[in-house]
């Protein structure tokens, strides 16, 4: 059964207190942690790498760590991220000449495989790889920064994938919060990344719960329609 999963992005979190903040987010209902890895080349920003992922792994042994590689040459970080303790390795199809090679290496290293699409990349680009993927990440902002505005026109990609792949984990990322979750849920997303809307809120638990319920109720509706 497809599950509704909410993963706060820590990009706009208090990085000086990252471990405590992640612990708090998990206590507040987060299903996974979304760790944005940027190299200053694929996107114009620099963030964290394997040492930080490893520190979080040691501090939070049970947390599901979803690493989103916004880097050129994603093949370069597969081994270091696996050794650091990442659970899912999501790379951008636009960043590599050899997506299938990346997929194979990620699987060999025991991680789940996610493939991410920038807003300008057509959804058909993932088609040749579908039988090998655990998750498709549809970016709903240009990758690089938190706090940007949600792009509703990306929902047609989500709808297309959900119609074709009823059991696929479809993740959306960028500008997702209370005001935009309904569109994501109705389109068929079930893995929700939410950064500023959660970490900048006075009540992260309440925001996580609203996001989760919106997605869960659409998933239940879909299931009932099928019966
Ligand atoms: O990958 C990215 C941005 O590149 C995202 O994970 C954002 O960091 C999510 O933050 P909000 O848009 O929800 O603030």
- pLDDT tens for each residue of 42-100: 999 999 999 999 999 999 999 999 999 999 999 999 999 999 999 999 999 999 999 99
User: Tokens for 212?
Assistant: 């989760």
ipTM of the complex: 0.97
The answer on pLDDT for 226 being more than 90 is no
Which residues pair with residue 194 across a beta bridge?
A: 8
Catalytic residue among 31, 36, 66, 169: 36
Q: b or e along 165-198 (b: 16 or more beta carbons within 10 Å of the residue's beta carbon)? A: eeebbbbbbbbbbeebbebbbbbbbbbbbbbbbb
For residue 179 and ligand 1, the question of a CB distance below 6 A is answered with no
Average pLDDT over residues 204-225: 96
- pLDDT tens for each residue of 11-33: 989 999 999 999 999 999 999 99
For a pocket test of ligand 1, which of 118, 146, 211 has the largest count of ligand atoms closer than 8 A to its C-beta?
Answer: 146
């Amino acid at each position: 059964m497809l599950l509704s999963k909410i993963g706060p992005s820590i990009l706009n979190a208090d990085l000086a207190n990252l471990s405590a903040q992640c612990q708090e987010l998990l206590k507040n209902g987060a299903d996974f942690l979304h760790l944005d890895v940027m190299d200053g080349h694929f996107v114009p920003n620099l963030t964290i790498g394997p040492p930080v992922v490893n520190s979080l792994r040691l501090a939070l042994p049970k947390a599901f760590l979803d690493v989103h590689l916004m880097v050129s040459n994603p093949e370069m970080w597969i081994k270091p991220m696996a050794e650091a303790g990442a659970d899912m390795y999501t790379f951008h199809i636009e960043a590599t000449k050899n997506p299938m090679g990346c997929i194979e290496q990620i699987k060999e290293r025991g991680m789940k495989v996610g493939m991410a699409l920038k807003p300008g990349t057509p959804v058909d680009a993932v088609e040749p790889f579908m039988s090998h993927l655990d998750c498709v990440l549809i970016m709903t902002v240009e990758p690089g920064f938190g706090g940007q505005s949600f792009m509703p026109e990306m929902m047609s990609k989500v709808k297309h994938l959900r119609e074709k792949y009823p059991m696929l984990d479809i993740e959306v990322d960028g500008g997702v919060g209370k005001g935009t979750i309904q569109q994501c849920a109705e389109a068929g997303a079930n893995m929700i990344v939410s950064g500023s809307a959660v970490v900048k809120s006075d009540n992260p638990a309440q925001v996580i719960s609203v996001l989760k319920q919106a997605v869960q109720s659409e998933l239940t509706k879909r299931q009932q329609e099928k019966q």
